[in-house]
Amino acid sequence: MKTILLIHGPNLNRLGDREPEIYGRTTLPEIETMMTARGRECRLAVRTFQSNHEGAIIDFIQGEQAAASGIIINPGALAHYAYALRDCLTAVACPVIEVHISNVHKREAWRRTSILAEVCTGVIGGLGVDGYLLALEYFREK
């Protein structure tokens, strides 16, 4: 069974509570449950991780990358400035999909540039939590 890492960055532990008009009411535990269940249906093991700290995310990726067939990452605001995370993602051998719940291109100008996007296999944004399912579908087909 392939292993997919599902990683969430800063403030995403507050999903469902933080700005629900932008991010919706689905909580992070609900997303993790949804993805784990869908992963089982697709014969994919989904391993979840969330941190508000860039270094902890890097440590997780480096520690798990040998077993990973793919990474789905919602980096939150780290997408705009986390060069160490970018270097980490550049070094992994598996495909990486960047996911954003909101459409960052309809928001503040500073949110419109992701320094991670060009080292990712693909980017999904603006589809709410369905974006995660689409990313998982990509790995199911691989």
Query: Which strands make up the sheet holding 68-74, listed edge to edge?
Result: 44-50, 2-8, 68-74, 96-100, 122-125
From 8, 53, 100, 138, the catalytic residue = 100
Residue 89 CB contacts under 8 Å (≥ 6 apart), including other chains: 61, 71, 73, 96, 116, 119, 120
From 8, 23, 80, 138, the catalytic residue = 23
Residue 23 among the catalytic residues: yes
Residue 107 CB contacts under 8 Å (≥ 6 apart), including other chains: 22
Distances (CA, A) of 119 to 21, 33, 42, 128, 131: 30, 28, 26, 22, 19
Pairing of strands 44-50, 2-8: parallel
Residue 81 among the catalytic residues: no
CB of 111 closer than 8 Å to CB of 45: no
Catalytic residues: 23, 100
